[in-house]
Chain A
Amino acid sequence: MLRARILENKLSSLYKAGKIVGGVYLGRGQEAVSATLGTALIQGTDFFAPLIRDQAGRTAFGEPLLDCTRTYLGSVQGPMRGRDGNIHRGRPKEGMPAMISHLGSQVSVVAGMLFAKRLQGTLEGRVGATCIGDGASSTGAFHEGLNLAAVEKLPLVVVIGNNQFAYSTPNDRQFACADLVEKARGYGIGGMAVDGTDLLACASVITEAVRRARAGQGPQMVVARLLRLSGHGEHDDAFYVPGEVKQGHYGRDCIEVAMRQLVENGIATVEEILTWQEQFADEVQRAVAQAQQEAAPDPYHENWTALATRFPLATPTPTQAVFP
C-alpha cells in the first residue's frame, strides 16, 4: 500500500505537469482495503479484477509498476499498447481482466472465469475477486452478476469500497438501506463489514472472506467503509465533500494508521518503514523514467483491426455432414 501511495503521488505530480495521457484516478484512502485483497489472493491461481482505485491491490497481486507507468505515460510497450489507458489496463491471461468503464460489469466476468475452471475441473482451491464502489452497487450489472454468482455458487469475493461518494453523489442519493452489507443477505451470500481505514481489521476480515470463498462457502461480500482522500480524478478537487466528513473518523489516512499499527505491534520499526519509503520512491522513479523514454504508439504501424480473425477466409473443403 505504501508503494502504491508513492506511485500515485508521483502520478498526481506528472498529471499536474501535463505529462499524462488522459485522466488520473487515484486510490488514496483505499489502499488498506485494496492491498489486503491483493495480498490474500494467489497470483497464478486466483483471478483479480481491479477497479478504479486499486493500485495497491494490483501491486500486491504482482502487477509490475511498469504496467502502470507505461499505460499512464502512453508507452506502446504497456499492456494496452496505447489502445486503452490508465486504470483500464489488465493482463487477462494472467488472471487480471482489464476493466471497462461500465461499473459492475466485471462481477460476471470474474464469475465466468471461475465457471470455466469448474467446467475444466480445476476450480478447487481457486478464488476470484473484484472491487467496486458504493456507486457501482446501484447498477444492474452488479445485481445480475452477484445473483448469478450466487446461483452458480462460485468462489467469488466482491469487495465494496464504500468511500461515501460516487464521483460527487453522496450515499443518501445512492442507496436507501442502512448499510450496503445488508444486500448480501438478499443474495444469499456471505457478508461482512469492515472499517476500511484500519489495516489490521481489513487484513482480518478480507482474508477471512477469501478463505471462506476458497473453502467452498460460495460468494462473499465485504463492505469496507472509508473516505476517498482525493477527488474522483485529479481534475476534481472534491469540494462537495463536507469539512466534517473530512475531519471525521473515516477521513483519517489509512497509511498513517497502518504505520502506527505496524510499529505499535512490533511488526516493523520506524527505520524499516523509512527504508521502504526510500526503496519504493526509487522503484517508482525508475518505472517512470523507463516509461518516459519509450516510444508512443505509431498510427502508421497500428493494424487498425478489432477482429482476431483475418477475413476473407479461404473456402473450406466441402463436408458431407451426416444427418440422422
Chain B
Amino acid sequence: MSVTYIDAIREALETLLREDPRVFLYGQDIATFGGAFKATKGLAEMFPNRVFDCPISEDAMIGLAVGAAIEGMRPIVEMQFADFSSVAFNQIVNQAATHFYRTGVPIPITVRLPSGGTPGSGPFHSQSMEGIYAQYPGIVVLTPASVSDAYHMLIDAVTLDDPVIFCEHKFLYRWLKAKSINGDHLPIGQARIVRPGKHATVVAYSAMVHEAVRAADRLQQDGWEIEVVDLRSVKPLDIDTVLASVARTGRLLAVGEAFPWGGVTAEVVSRVTEEGFHLLDAPPQRLNARDTPVPYHPKLWAAHRPTPESICQALRKLLTF
C-alpha cells in the first residue's frame, strides 16, 4: 500500500485533531466538501465543531486565527491556494508575525498554503510565496518535499509556538507516493542531504528537490556525482548543512520555483558567498522561475519553471567553469 503527499497531510490533520483539543481547522470549503484538494476529507464528520467552512475572507480568517491563538487555541487555516494568501498578507506579516516581539504573547497558528505550479493552473493558482513570507521576522516558513516530511513537519508546525507558513506543493499532492509516512523525522530547521555527491551541490526545496534529483540522475550517466540538499525549512535556514555540502563539492546551484528577484535562492547564494566564499571553486549559481506571471498553457508553464533539463544545463555550466 502506498501513501501520497496529500494523504500524509490529511493524516497529520486527523492526528492533530485527535490528540490536541486546542486544534481546529478554518478554511473555505473544508468541511462538507473536504477542501479543494481533499486535504480535510471526512474530518468534519469525525470531529464535529472542529472543522469550519468560512466566508471568502482571507484577511479575517487569519485575524480570527490570531485572536483564537491569543486565547489558547492552535488554529490551522487552509488557504485554498497560496496565491490567495496575498489578501491575508497584512494579518500574517503585521498582526501574527509581530505579535510575540511586541507583546510577548506567542501566536501559534499554522497557515497551509497549497503552493506551486501544476499544468494549466495559470497566474493565480500557481504561486510560490515562501520567499515573501520568509523576508518578514517572526514567521517560520516550511516547504516539505517528501511524504514523511509532509506528515511530520505539519505536526511539528502546529506544536511550535510561532506562526508557521506551511507550503505544500500541489504537484506533489497526488504525484508523490511513499510506502509509508515513516521517516527520519528531522527537527524543523534542519536540512537533509537527499542524494550524496562530490562534484557540485544543488540546494532545493519543495517540488524542486525531485527535479534536482532527476537532473542528478542524468548527470550521473556522465560520471558527475551531484549532491542534493533539501532545505525542508526555508526559515529558519540551515546554512550549516549547505556550507558543509559546499565544502565537499566546491560548487553551488540553488534551485527554486519562485520568481527570480530575491527570494530563497538569492538568500542561499548570498549566505554561502558571505560565509563560505573560500569554499567555492566556481561562482555560485541560481535557477528560478522566469520573471513573468506563471503562464497558463502547459507548454509555456513547463518552460517557465526549472526542469531537469534546465537544471542539467545549469549544472554542466557550473561543473565546467
Interface set of A (CB-CB < 8 Å, partner B): 79-81, 83-84, 88, 90-93, 97-98, 100-102, 105-117, 119-120, 140-141, 144-145, 147-148, 151, 305-309, 311-316, 318-321, 323
Contact = CB atoms under 8 A, between A and B. Distances in A.
A323 B138 contact: no
Contact of B186 (A102, A108, A115, A315): A315
A113 B71 contact: yes
A97 B187 contact: no
Interface string B77-104: 0000000000100110011011111111
Nearest to B240: A312
A112 B3 contact: no
Given A119-B50, A148-B61, A307-B140, 11 more contacts: A91-B103, A93-B105, A97-B67, A98-B103, A108-B59, A112-B67, A116-B67, A148-B64, A151-B54, A316-B187, A319-B185
Contacts of B75: 112
Interface in B215-233: none
A108 B185 contact: no
A46 B44 CA distance: 30
A308 B91 contact: no
A148 B57 contact: yes
B102 A80 contact: yes
Interface stretch (B125-133, B176-184, B258-266, B295-303): B176-184
Nearest to B100: A308
Contacts of B87: 140
Contact of A144 (B60, B65, B100, B140): B60
Contacts of B162: 307-309
Interface in B99-140: 99-106, 137-138, 140
B279 interface: no
A101 B101 CA distance: 16
B3 A109 contact: no
A305 B15 CA distance: 31
Interface in B222-254: 236, 238
A144 B59 contact: yes
Given A144-B59, A306-B98, A308-B100, A93 B70 contact: yes
A107 B64 CA distance: 9
A83 B180 contact: no
A159 B72 CA distance: 26
B286 to A, nearest CB: 25
Contacts of B90: 102, 105, 141
A306 B137 contact: yes
A306 B151 contact: no
B185 A144 contact: no
Given A141-B90, A148-B55, A306-B100, A315 B64 contact: no
Given A92-B70, A102-B94, A105-B94, A145 B100 contact: no
A313 B187 contact: yes
A79 B99 CA distance: 13
Given A307-B138, A313-B189, A323-B181, A109 B49 contact: no
A119 B69 CA distance: 12
B267 interface: no
B266 to A, nearest CB: 21
A309 B184 CA distance: 21
Interface hub of B11, B67, B97, B98 (most chain A Cβ within 10 A): B67
Nearest to A141: B59
Contacts of A305: 101
Given A88-B102, A90-B103, A323 B180 contact: yes
Of B54, B90, B184, most A-chain CB atoms within 10 Å: B90
A90 B99 CA distance: 11
B187 A84 contact: no
Interface string B24-62: 100000000000000000000000011000110111111
Contacts of B70: 92-93, 97, 109, 112-113, 116
Nearest to A102: B90
Contacts of B104: 81
A320 B182 contact: yes
Contacts of A83: 101-102
Contact of A111 (B58, B67, B94): B67
B66 interface: yes
